[in-house]
């Protein structure tokens, strides 16, 4: 059992890794001994986060706005200039848009789908040579796509393009898992419930709304950094080497107990 959850020395890319869930994931990987690259649209935040996480290990910033496939390809080219292998790709960068159905704008679709679906696909496609170089039958390379409960059940968020994009990334993960299994690359989707991040700030801004939300969660609380880091570490380590094509729910029981 020694080293079952060891990811030290692995090279990881965490998109959207400078804030929120991405930062939680990136810090967990850095502390576990991985060499981690993080991205963010905002160069100053990306660089500041990398400096802070570098206190615990190796963390490097690459500012990137992943709203176009060209930007995703440019990110891959930057990684290729620095590394010959990538063992772990965390597609975490995300975008949402909320508005009532009657006024939900057409412009809320293209950018959300680009960041949440097309970007992860482009990164997997263009990083294939490096992922294959870091993969073995016993210890595959890992692609982990961050999904959402909103893409699995009808959460009343009025975030129509976001919900559709997350349903899409859940299914895309399965399709990619089937295609990449023979290359010893696993692909899984982590389907998240509610965590204290910027994306849920509008729900948590009033204490009454927070209490209503917590009343819906069977375990009675929001997710924590330890929750997401624990699952990501499992999927990234030898312990998770036989898991692919799965949707791993991390939602305090909202999906399975409701």
pLDDT at 244: 98
Active site residue 162: yes
Three-state SS letters, 3-25:
CCCCCCCCEEEECCCCCHHHHHH
Task: Decide if 219 is inside a domain.
Answer: yes
pLDDT at 171: 98
Task: Decide if 5 is inside a domain.
Answer: no
Model pTM score: 0.95
Cβ density class 44-83: b for 16+ within 10 Å, e for less: ebbbebbeebeeebbbbbbbbbbbebebbebbbeebeeeb
136: helix, strand or coil: coil
By percentage, how much of the chain surpasses pLDDT 90?
Answer: 91
Domain count, the chain: 1
Catalytic: which of 37, 160, 162, 194? 162
Mean pLDDT value across residues 147-163: 95
Task: Decide if 1 is inside a domain.
Answer: no
Predicted confidence band at 211 (pLDDT cuts at 50, 70, 90)? Answer: confident
Contacts of 142 (CB under 8 A, 6+ apart): 87, 88, 89, 185, 186, 188, 235, 236, 240
Give me the CATH number covering residue 172.
3.40.50.720
- Domain that includes residue 87, residue range: 11-250
| DSSP codes of every residue in 212-247 | HHHHHSTT-S---HHHHHHHHHHHHSGGGTT--S-E
> Tokens at residue 175, please?
């399709």
Task: Decide if 4 is inside a domain.
Answer: no
- Residue pair 95/118 in contact (Cβ under 8 Å)? The answer is no
- Residue pair 5/29 in contact (Cβ under 8 Å)? The answer is no
pLDDT at 30: 98
155: helix, strand or coil: coil
> 93, 116, 85: which is closest to 11 by C-alpha?
85
Task: Decide if 133 is inside a domain.
Answer: yes
Task: Decide if 67 is inside a domain.
Answer: yes
- Per the DSSP assignment, residues forming a β-bridge with 35 are 11, 58
Name the percent of the chain in helix, strand, coil, to the closest 5.
Answer: 50, 15, 35
Task: Identify which has the larger pLDDT, 210 or 76.
Answer: 76
């Amino acid at each position: 059992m020694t080293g079952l959850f060891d990811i030290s020395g692995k090279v990881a890319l965490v998109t959207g890794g400078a804030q929120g869930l991405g930062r939680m994931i990136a810090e967990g990987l850095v502390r576990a001994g991985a060499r981690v690259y993080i991205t963010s649209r905002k160069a100053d935040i990306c660089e500041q986060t990398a400096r802070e996480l570098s206190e615990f290990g190796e963390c490097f910033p690459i500012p990137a706005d992943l709203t176009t496939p060209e930007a995703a390809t440019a990110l891959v080219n930057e990684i290729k200039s620095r590394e010959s292998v990538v063992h772990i790709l965390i597609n975490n960068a995300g975008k949402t848009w909320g508005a009532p159905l009657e006024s939900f704008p057409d412009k809320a679709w293209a950018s959300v789908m680009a960041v949440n679906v097309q970007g992860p696909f482009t990164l997997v496609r263009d990083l294939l040579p490096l992922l294959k170089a870091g993969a073995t039958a016993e210890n595959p390379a890992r692609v982990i796509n961050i999904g959402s409960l909103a893409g699995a059940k009808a959460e009343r968020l009025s975030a129509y393009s976001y919900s559709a994009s997350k349903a899409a990334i859940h299914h895309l993960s399965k399709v990619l898992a089937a295609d990449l299994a023979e290359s010893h690359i696993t692909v899984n989707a982590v389907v998240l419930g509610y965590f204290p991040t910027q994306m849920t700030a509008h729900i948590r801004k009033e204490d009454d709304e927070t209490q209503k939300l917590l009343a819906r969660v069977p375990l009675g609380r929001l997710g924590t950094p330890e929750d997401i880091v624990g699952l990501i570490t499992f999927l990234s380590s030898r312990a998770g080497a036989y898991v692919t094509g799965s949707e791993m729910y991390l939602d305090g029981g909202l999906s399975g107990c409701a």
